A and B are shown apart, each in its own frame.
Chain A
C-alpha cells in the first residue's frame, strides 16, 4: 500500500523532472522474457529505466542493483525491495560465491532483468568495456531476448555527490535485440554488445 503510493508519487516526480521518455526504437514493449543491458552513468539509472517502462512490464522487470550502495540505509533498502523490486548483486569478488547467482534465480523464475555490464559508473563519454556477466547469462539462457539500452542525459540530473536533482529531459532508447552467435568468442560478443548500446546514442 505505502509502496504503491510512494511509487505513484515518485513516477510523477520523475516525469516532471526528466520527462522519462521511452523510445522503442528497435523492439516493441512486449511481455517476453528479456535482458536489458544499459550504459551506467548514475545511480539513478535503474530508477530511470523503471520509470520509462510501461506499468505492465515494470512489474515483471527487475534491475540489478549494487548491494553495498542500495542496502546502506533502511530507506534505500525499503525503496529497492518494496518499490523497485531489484535484484541485489555484489560488486567486489572477495566473496567466493558467483555474483550472478541472484540474476540467474530471477531469470529462472521468469522475470526480465536490467543489467549494467560496465560494472561501475562511467565518467567518460563512451561506456567502459563490458564485463562478462552478460555473456555468461546469454550462454545460460539462450531463449531470453537481449535488448541493448541507452540512457540519455541522466547524469546531468544528479551528478555524483549532489543531493538535489535538477530538471533535464532524459530518454531511454531500446534497440533491436542481439543474439549470441554459434561459437562466438566472449570478448567479441561483449564488444559487439557494447557497440550496439553506443549505436543508440545517435538515433
Chain B
C-alpha cells in the first residue's frame, strides 16, 4: 500500500488525499444524519437528554460544515493552481477582517485607515505571496503597516480613543491578513527534493490544528471539566488542552510521510502549530469577551451578533489557523534554513 502510494506522481498523491478526506467527511455526515434520525424518533423530545444531545449534534454539524467548506476551498485551490489559491485565501482574509471590524466599533475618523487596510494593504500582502517576495511579505504588516495605520488615523484629526482604535485595527490586520496569508505561503516554500508538494504542508497544518481543537472540545465536554479560565472561556481547561495538543501532535507525527519532515520533526512542528493555534483561539475569545460578545455563534446570548455577521462566524472557525500559520511557517523556514 505504502509503496503503491509512493510510486504515484505528486498530483496523483494529492488527488488520493482529497478522495480520502472527502470520503471521511461523507461518512461523518452520514453518521450524523443517522444519529439525528434516531433522536427524532425518540418520544422524549423535551427531556434533558434529548436537548443536550441535540445541542451536541448541532455543534458537531457546525464543525462538519466548516470542514466541508474548508476542504472544498482547498480542493478548488489545488485544482485551479497557486494563483487562484492565493485569491481564495485573500477572500477568506477579507471576510474575516470584515467580521472583525464589524464587532469593533470604529469612529468616523477611522474611515481612511479602513480604506487603506482593506483595499491597499490586504491585496498587497497577497500579491507579495503570489510573487514569492518572502522578505517583504514577512515585514510589510508588522513594520510598514504598523506605522501607516496610525499616520492615516492621525491625519483625520481626532484624538479620541486614539491608541485603542489603532490597536484594534492593527490586531485585525495582524490576525486576519498577516496570519491567514501564511497559509497559501506554505504552497511556495521550497524544500530540497520536495517540489510542488506545498498542498500537503497546508493539509498537514490544517488537519493537526483542527484535530487538536476538536479533541480539546470533545474531552472538556465529555469529562465536564471545570473551566480553568472561567472569565474568558467556559470550555477551556488545561487538562483537555494538553490532551488536545498531544493528540494533534501525534497525528502530525503519523503524517510525517506526506511532509518533508522525519517523524520526530513532524511531531515537533505539529506541536508548535497546535500550541499556537489553540492559545490563539483563546486570545480571540478574550477579545470577544472584551467586546461583550459571549460566544461568536454557538450559544444563546449571541443571537444578535450571529445575525449581524451573516457570514456565520467565519472568524471563529479559522482564528486558530490564523495564529498557527505564521508561527508554523517561520519555524519551518528557520529550522530548515530554507532559501528565500
Contact = CB atoms under 8 A, between A and B. Distances in A.
A167 B307 contact: no
Nearest to B114: A166
A202 interface: yes
A164 B114 CA distance: 10
Residue from the set B94, B111, B115, B311 with the largest chain A CB neighbour count within 10 Å = B111
Given A19-B310, A152-B308, A153-B308, A167 B108 contact: no
Contacts of B309: 19, 169
Contact of B118 (A156, A166, A203): A166
B12 interface: no
B115 A166 contact: yes
B102 interface: yes
A153 B102 contact: yes
A164 B311 CA distance: 23
Nearest to B101: A168
B109 to A, nearest CB: 9
B147 to A, nearest CB: 20
Given A162-B111, A164-B119, A169 B106 contact: no
Contacts of B99: 169
Given A166-B114, A166-B115, A167-B94, A159 B108 contact: yes
A112 interface: no
Interface residues of A, number: 18
A162 B119 CA distance: 15
Interface in B304-319: 304, 307-311
A203 B307 CA distance: 10
B54 interface: no
A171 interface: yes
Interface string B92-103: 001001110110
A19 B106 contact: no
A58 interface: no
Contact of A202 (B114, B304, B310): B304
Interface string A133-159: 000000000000000000011001001
A152 to B, nearest CB: 6
A51 B26 CA distance: 36
A152 B305 CA distance: 12
A17 B98 CA distance: 8
Contacts of B311: 19, 169
A117 B36 CA distance: 48
A21 B115 contact: no
A168 B102 contact: yes
A21 B102 CA distance: 13
Nearest to A152: B308
Nearest to A201: B304
A23 interface: yes
Given A19-B310, A162-B111, A169 B102 contact: yes
A171 B308 CA distance: 6
B215 to A, nearest CB: 32
B310 A167 contact: no
A164 B115 contact: yes
B83 to A, nearest CB: 20
A159 B111 contact: yes
Contact of A169 (B98, B114, B115, B118): B98
Contacts of B98: 17, 19, 167-169
B73 to A, nearest CB: 17
Contacts of B307: 21, 23, 171
Interface of B: 94, 97-99, 101-102, 106, 108, 111, 114-115, 118-119, 304, 307-311
Given A19-B310, A166-B111, A167-B97, 12 more contacts: A17-B98, A19-B311, A21-B310, A153-B308, A159-B111, A168-B101, A169-B102, A169-B308, A169-B309, A169-B310, A171-B307, A202-B304
16 contacts: A19-B310, A21-B308, A153-B102, A156-B106, A159-B111, A167-B98, A167-B101, A168-B98, A168-B101, A168-B106, A169-B308, A169-B309, A169-B311, A170-B308, A171-B307, A203-B304
